[in-house]
Amino acid sequence: MPLTDSFGQNTPYPTLTDKPNAQTLGQGIVETIVPKTIMTFASAVVRGATLVTPVAGMCTYLKDVGRLELFDGGAWVTVAAGTSNWQTIDLASGFAHDGNSNGTAQYRLVNLFGEQTLMFRGGIGITYSGPGGAIPNSGNLANAPLPVAYRPASRRTIVVGCSVAASGLTALKLDVNTSGTLTVIGTNTTDAKPGWVSLNGTFVSL
């Protein structure tokens, strides 16, 4: 009768008194070890068809989305989202990158506590124009909306820091809309015309 490992994982190994059977030995080891490795599947659909009754603690990597997931006993939860490259925001006229030397305004997807999250960084300079010096493009920062995969399920409003020069405010709000537009809210033509806003350290739940 094969014995099992001393780590409590029930991985079998033969004893000297066992009847030789290489296939049984190999199969017993493989069938026990594989579910405890990081199993790779083409997609969640393929995984579901293969692991019909997953066990808590199983870990898989989905190639189509580049995601590591863990089965917690009730559902597959994301462990990591993999590398997500920074994307530069195509700013509308009147807005410029590197506001207050905060760097290029960019965004990317990250995994935060098992949830896909939109992360921003960089600074945006603002040049006021029009009657009384209104914010350009009605506060809409980008020439084009964010790609569909980067849009939240509902509007997300976050606080962004801003210049105190020419402004009685130290922060504004940024609406990340379901249409993918990014809109700065809170400026006016009298006492709230900050020359830049910072996106550093801001996150949006999708």
Domain residue limits, the chain: 3-80, 87-205
CB 158 within 8 A of CB 117: no
Distance CA 69, CA 48 (A): 13
Q: Which residue has the tokens 């896909």?
A: 116
Task: Return the pLDDT at 152.
Answer: 96
| Residue in 193, 189, 190 with CA at minimum distance from that of residue 169 | 193
Alpha helices in 43-95 (DSSP H): 44-50
- Output the pTM of the full model: 0.71
For domain 87-205, the CATH superfamily is Phage tail base-plate Siphoviridae RBP, head domain (2.60.40.1830)
Task: Return the pLDDT at 24.
Answer: 73
Half-sphere exposure of 119 (CA within 13 A, CB side): 14
Largest Cα separation within the chain, whole Å, is 94
For the chain, the residue count is 206
Displacement of CA 63 from its chain's centroid (Å): 16
Task: Return the pLDDT at 130.
Answer: 73
Displacement of CA 10 from its chain's centroid (Å): 36
Reported as a single tens digit per residue, the pLDDT across 45-93 is 999 999 999 999 999 999 988 788 999 999 998 886 656 799 999 999 9
Reported as a single tens digit per residue, the pLDDT across 134-161 is 999 999 999 999 999 999 999 999 999 9
Phi and psi at residue 124, to the nearest 5°:
-130, 120
| Residue in 139, 199, 157, 152 with CA at minimum distance from that of residue 180 | 152
Q: Mean pLDDT over all residues of the chain?
A: 89
* Spatial CB neighbours of 142, under 8 Å, sequence gap ≥ 6: 89, 90, 91, 92, 181, 182
Pairing state of beta strands 87-88 and 106-112? Answer: antiparallel
CB 106 within 8 A of CB 194: no
